[in-house]
Amino acid sequence: MKTIGLIGGMSWESSSLYYELINKKVKETLGGFHSAPCILLSVDFAEIERSFGRDDWDSIAELMVTSAKKLEHAGADLVILCTNTIHICSDEIIKNITIPFLHIANATTEKIKAKGLKKIALLGTKYTMEKDFYKDILNAHGIEVLIPDSKDRETINQIIFQELVLGIVKEKSKESYQRIIKSLAMKGAEGVILGCTEIPLLIKQEDVDIPIFDTTKIHAERAVEMALEGSISPSV
């Protein structure tokens, strides 16, 4: 099995989910005492949050490229970025490493296409919802993307940064997300992308009436599939 390199810490709560999901998928696939060979480089999210405030994406990209290079030099065979929003920097990462980089939107798009859906709601930070780096990948596969109105985008973003990245889960916030998802479903959304790796801390499939696409789970499990390609057969 190949070694998975993870750039984490954005936030560490969701990064811990990645580690859990990756190892569960390996055990499910290979059985016995198997676990995942992986290397986690966890950054200081406060540094990135300050860069958000300055709209300084160059500094964020520089940190991500440095982190990806460190993982490659440490022996990782592929790299994943344990966050949706920072995939804005994915082109820079890809240009500066020689090992595969698994884009979270590509992995998610594969799952949406497999279900035959053509119109999807996208929730995430305001950057993920408003910028094109995520929507362009979906649109390229014939999938229409719906995002909440400006007021609801602000609500979603505020809950992410003031609650979820701090590990705070409130019932009132869940209800707000449920209301927003329902309104998008009424506009034709056939499913909803939980396009921030913290949102699954708040919203589960049983909380809404349309299919959810948990990007954390999708990304982690696809990374395992890539790591297992060409590996040894399952054993005890």
Give the phi and the psi of residue 101 in degrees, each rounded to 5: -120, 125
Partners of 214 in the β-ladder? 194
DSSP assignment letter at 178: H
Per the CB < 8 A criterion, the answer to whether 82 and 14 are in contact is yes
Tell me which residues are annotated as active site.
Answer: 83, 196
| 234 CA to centre of own chain | 28
Q: Based on the number of CB atoms within 10 Å of its own CB, is 128 exposed (0-12), middle (13-18) or buried (19 or more)? A: buried
Give the total residue count for the chain. 236
**66-72, long-range: CB within 8 Å, 24+ apart, which pairs?**
67/7, 67/41, 67/43, 68/5, 68/7, 68/93, 68/96, 68/97, 68/101, 69/96, 69/97, 70/41, 71/5, 71/6, 71/7, 71/39, 71/41, 72/5, 72/97, 72/98, 72/99
